């Protein structure tokens, strides 16, 4: 039996943690993820779960403690945002290269500066090459469901990599939405107990975690890590398939919304996809073949699948909520464009910056994006550089 209720994205993550009942949760508060450890600490105090909560002195310590717990054989989780994850930077790479299946709730927030606490993807996109699996959510339901699947993915014998479950700060983390919760017993059976084959506290175990690797050995370790990331793609799909059987919720590497026959497509990540869907519906009512590709899994990057799905479009807008300062656009734009090139797609493309530091995006704004795509496909406009959506400027860089 499912339970229909209302809760914020942070509450949804905390509810998932309660159902999973991990062994250890080290965490340090930072807006907008602070509520997650706060909720979990209250659950522990109330006797709802027996997770060991470790209040640490910094986010660097939080990830270090999670790494130590995971290496010792415990199921470990943590939560952070923005500058907090930046302080973890060193340990993110160590956790991934040590093949530790830590699950982190990342509430996306812009990195300073200027100082801002609102939604942006600069934190997770900055860590895109750290070796962590990255899964993003459009809404609170997806935040909850993604977290429930995360341990199954990270702990799989073919993967053994850490995973960050990402949601947009304040837009989903604090906004209350309708959500369906799954029964505790159903989820406990689905997630299961963590039974690692190798860990430091195992009797008779002889192993090292994070040793110094000389040149004759280190490249092979990195290659093995890269192969695990490739294998994660199928594991993500397999776990999603099992989850669908017990809940009816379907998840893939991406979601195509009215994409099959689309001539004009937007590619995006996160909460803006709900806004884009409304714009697609309005345009379809006017006879415009608009569609949306919502990227759910950014690492491992589903390049082949993306390229194939966009191959027949006339024009594609790739939306980035993170400026990479490369003078060429954002990280999603770079990777989707490369995927389309390999697929020999002929669509005109434009990479668009949007929503930086929480700048609001309305349905009318997304309609404007699709209208621009129609003009781009017809050869009526060209973008010498990547435009900013909703920029208050007369420089010509605004869309």
Tell me the mean pLDDT in the region 103-128: 96
Identify whether residues 332 and 276 lie together within a single domain: yes
pLDDT band at 375 (very low <50, low <70, confident <90, very high): very high
User: In this model, does residue 109 exceed pLDDT 70?
Assistant: yes
User: In this model, does residue 103 exceed pLDDT 80?
Assistant: yes
For 289-331, write each residue's pLDDT tens digit: 999 999 999 999 999 999 999 999 999 999 999 999 999 999 9
Start-to-end CA span in the chain (Å): 47
Identify whether residues 297 and 225 lie together within a single domain: no
**Assigned domain for 382 exists:** no
Q: How many residues does the chain have?
A: 399
Assign residue 349 the CATH number of its domain. 3.40.50.920
pLDDT of residue 178: 98
Q: Are 44 and 67 in contact (CB under 8 A)?
A: no
Strand partners, 15: none
User: In this model, does residue 13 exceed pLDDT 70?
Assistant: yes
Tell me the mean pLDDT in the region 195-206: 93
Identify whether residues 300 and 208 lie together within a single domain: no
Q: Select from 226, 247, 268 the last residue of a domain.
A: 247
DSSP string, 32-101: TTTHHHHHHHHHHHTTS---EEEE-SSHHHHHHHHHHHHHTT--BEEEE-HHHHHHTHHHHHHHHHTT--
**Assigned domain for 388 exists:** no
Assign residue 133 the CATH number of its domain. 3.40.50.970
What does the mean pLDDT of the chain come to? 96
Q: Which of 210-219, 276-285, 365-374 has the lowest mean pLDDT?
A: 210-219
Identify whether residues 42 and 10 lie together within a single domain: yes
For residues 124 and 181, give the distance between their C-alpha atoms in angstroms, rounded to a whole number: 27
For 14-44, write each residue's pLDDT tens digit: 999 999 999 999 999 999 999 999 999 999 9
Identify whether residues 57 and 150 lie together within a single domain: yes
Q: Select from 247, 269, 300 the last residue of a domain.
A: 247
**Assigned domain for 319 exists:** yes
**Assigned domain for 392 exists:** no
Identify whether residues 156 and 31 lie together within a single domain: yes
Question: pTM of the entire structure?
Answer: 0.96
Identify whether residues 221 and 316 lie together within a single domain: no
Identify whether residues 45 and 178 lie together within a single domain: yes
Q: What is the residue range of 356's domain?
A: 254-377
pLDDT band at 398 (very low <50, low <70, confident <90, very high): confident
């Amino acid at each position: 039996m499912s339970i229909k209720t209302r809760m914020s994205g942070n509450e949804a993550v905390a509810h998932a943690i309660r159902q999973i009942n991990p062994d250890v949760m080290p965490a340090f508060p930072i807006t907008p993820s602070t509520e997650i450890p706060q909720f979990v600490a209250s659950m522990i105090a109330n006797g709802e779960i027996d997770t060991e909560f470790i209040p640490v002195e910094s986010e660097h310590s939080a990830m270090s403690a999670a790494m130590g717990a995971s290496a010792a054989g415990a199921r470990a989780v943590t939560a952070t945002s923005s500058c907090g994850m930046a302080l973890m930077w060193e340990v993110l790479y160590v956790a991934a290269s040590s093949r530790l299946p830590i699950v982190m709730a990342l509430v996306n927030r812009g990195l300073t500066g200027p100082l801002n606490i609102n939604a942006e993807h600069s934190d997770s996109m900055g860590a895109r090459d750290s070796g962590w699996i990255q899964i993003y959510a459009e809404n609170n339901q997806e935040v909850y469901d993604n977290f429930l699947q995360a341990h199954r993915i990270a702990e799989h014998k073919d993967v053994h990599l850490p995973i960050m479950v990402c949601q947009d700060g304040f837009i989903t983390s604090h906004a209350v939405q309708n959500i369906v919760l799954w029964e505790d017993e159903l989820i406990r059976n689905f997630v299961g107990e963590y039974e690692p084959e190798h860990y430091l506290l195992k009797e008779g175990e002889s192993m090292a975690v994070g040793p110094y690797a000389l040149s004759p050995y280190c490249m092979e370790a990195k290659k093995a890590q890269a192969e695990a990331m490739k294998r994660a793609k199928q594991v993500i799909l397999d776990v999603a398939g099992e989850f669908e059987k017990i809940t009816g919720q379907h998840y893939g590497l991406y979601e195509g919304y009215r994409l099959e026959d689309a001539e004009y497509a937007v590619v995006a990540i996160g909460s803006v996809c709900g806004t884009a869907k409304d714009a697609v519906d309005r345009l379809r009512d006017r006879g415009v073949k608009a569609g949306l590709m919502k990227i759910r899994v950014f690492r491992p990057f589903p390049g082949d699948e993306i390229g194939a799905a966009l191959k027949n479009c006339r024009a594609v807008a790739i939306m980035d909520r993170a400026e990479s300062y490369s003078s060429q656009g954002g990280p999603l734009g770079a990777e989707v464009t490369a995927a389309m090139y390999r697929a020999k797609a002929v669509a005109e493309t434009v990479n668009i910056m949007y929503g930086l530091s929480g700048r609001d995006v309305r349905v009318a704004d997304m309609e404007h994006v699709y209208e621009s795509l129609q003009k781009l496909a017809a050869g009526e406009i060209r973008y010498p550089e990547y435009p900013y959506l909703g920029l208050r400027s007369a420089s010509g860089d605004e869309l």
